Amino acid sequence: MTLRSLSLCALAASTLIARTGFAQQSGAVTGLTATSSIPAISPENGLLLSDGALLHGGVSVEGGYDSNVFYNDKGYETGSPLTRVTPFLDFTNTARNGEVPSGLFFDMKAALTYREYLSSDPEVTRLRSFTPTISANVEHNAKGTVAFGFSDSFARLQDAPYLKSQTSMIVRDTNLASAQLRLAPGGGRIQGVIRLSNMIDWFEKDTQLTAANSMTNEVMLDASWRWLPKTALYFQVRQGYVLYFDPNAMGASALVSSGGKKSSFPLRAVVGVRGLVTEKTSIALALGYQNAFYSGGANTSSDGFLGNMTMAGELTYLPIFQARLVLGAKHEFQNSVIGNFYYSDGGYASLTYQAPMRLIGQLWGSYEYRRYHGLPTAADGDGTRTDNFLQGGTSLDYHVNSWFFVGLSYSLTHNQSDAPAVEFVSGATYTKHQVFARLGVTY
C-alpha cells in the first residue's frame, strides 16, 4: 500500500535554522496537521484573574468544503461539505498593551476542534473527530543576562484512512517538550544558547503505522557574536537520537518497514548570519554539515557532498509598516515515517498584511522536491521514491471590533509521486482543495 507524502511537526523558534533543525526528527502524514482556527486575540480584552494574569477565550465556527477527503488520485476523489467548531482558552501575563514582562513570562493555550462532515456517505460522516491541542511556554529573564525557558505542546490528530473500507482513522499523538538556557553577558554582544528537546511521536494501534512510533531527543548548542548592532554571526550544532519503540515491527504492507525501523543519530553543524540588513530587511543564512547516521540501510553519507551538506536562507522584508514579505529556500534531509529519510529541496513565500481597520490577510505557498531513501520496495530493501509536494493558501479576516470577526480561507495541497497508484487507495499522488468561511468571538 502506498502512503501519503509527509509533512512536519516543528519546534518554533525565531531564526531560520531553529525552524529547519528539529523538524527533521519527525514526519507527519499529510492532512494530520492541527490547522489553527484560533484568531488573533486583542490584548486589551481578557478577564483579569490576578495581578498581571489575563484569561482570554473564544470560539470560532467554520463551514466549508473538502474536495478530496481520502487523498485519492484523480478520478477517485470523494468531496464533502464540513463544519468545524473550535473553542479555545489562553492564560497569559502579557500586559493589556501587548508588552511581555521582563521577569517571569508565561503563556498557556488550549483548544478543541470538532469536525463534522455533512455528507450522505456513511464512510465520510464516520470521520468526525475531536482534535485537542495544548501548549505552554514559560520563561524567566534575569535582566537580559540569563534566561531560562520551558515549552511543551501536545496534539492528537485524526485523519482519513488509506481505504474507505477501513473502519478506523489514522490517529497520531505528538508531544514536543524543550528546555532552554540563554546566556548573554556583557550587554549581549556574545550570546550562548543550550536547548534540550524531547519528541514523542505515537500512532495509535489501529492505524497500521505503529512501526513508526518513536522518541527523539536532541541537544542544541548555539554561540553567536553580534558584530553589528542588530546582526550576528553564529555557529550551531545539533545532535539528535531517534529511537523506535518497536524496532522489529512491520509497517503497513511492509512499506513503512520491511525489517524494522532503524534508529539514527542525526547531526547538523552550521555557521551563518542572522539579523537586520536595513531597517526594513532582515536575513537568516545557514551553511554546514549534516549526517543521518542510521544504524542500518540507506544513509546520507552514501550520497557524497550534497548528501552531507545542509543550507538554508530566509529574507524578510517590510515594504510598509502593515505588511511583511518572507522568502526562503533550503536543502536538508528529514527523518521519514516510510523508509529511512528523504532529502528536501525547496522554497517558500508568505505575505501578511494587517490594515488599521482590523483587516488581516495572508497569502503563502511552499514547494518541496523530496527524494526518499531506504524504502523496502527494492530487492535490497533500499528503494527510492521521488515526490513533488506543493502547498498554498490564503486567508482574510475582518475584525468588526475587538471581540467579533468574520473571515474566509482557502488551502491547496498537491503531491505528485512516482510511487505506483492503486485504485481506491489513498495514494502518494493527489490534489486536495479546502475552502472555509468562518466567524467567531474572542475576549
* Domain CATH for 34: 2.40.160
Residue 1 domain flag: no
| Closest alpha carbon to 180 in 196, 200, 159 | 196
Cα dihedral across residues 336, 12, 158, 115: positive or negative? negative
DSSP 369-438: EEEEEEETTSTTS-EEEEEEEEEEEEEEEEESSSSEEEEEEEEEEEEEESSPP-TTB--S-EEEEEEEEE
Residue 144's pLDDT is: 75
Q: What pLDDT, on the 0 to 100 scale, is given for residue 46?
A: 84
pLDDT of residue 355: 83
| pLDDT for 8 | 24
**Which positions ≥6 away from 121 have C-beta within 8 Å?**
78, 80
Domain span at residue 417 reads 6-442
pLDDT at residue 75 in the model = 87
Residue 156, C-beta contacts closer than 8 angstroms, at least 6 positions apart: 131, 132, 171, 172, 173
Q: Is residue 61 part of a domain?
A: yes
**What pLDDT, on a 0 to 100 scale, did the predictor assign at position 269?**
98
Residues of the chain with pLDDT under 70: 1-40, 164, 206-208, 249-259, 377-381, 421-427
247 belongs to a structural domain: yes
Look-up of cell digits 512501526: 211
Task: Please tell me the total count of domains within the chain.
Answer: 1
CA–CA separation, 387 and 397 (whole Å): 33
Burial class (CB in 10 A: 0-12, 13-18, 19+), 25: buried
Q: Number of helices (H) and strands (E) in the chain: give both, helices first.
A: 3, 21
101 found inside a domain: yes
Q: Looking at the domain assignment, is residue 71 inside a domain?
A: yes
48 lies in some domain:
yes
Decide if 266 contacts 240 (C-beta within 8 A): yes
C-alpha cell at 175: 508531544
Q: Could you tell me the three cell numbers for 116?
A: 463534522
Residue 246's CB is within 10 A of a number of other CB atoms, namely 14
pLDDT at 37: 53
Contact 290, 309 (CB under 8 A): yes
Give the pLDDT confidence score for residue 304 in this predicted structure: 80
Residues 6+ apart with CB under 8 A from 356: 322
Distance, C-alpha 344 to centroid of its chain: 15
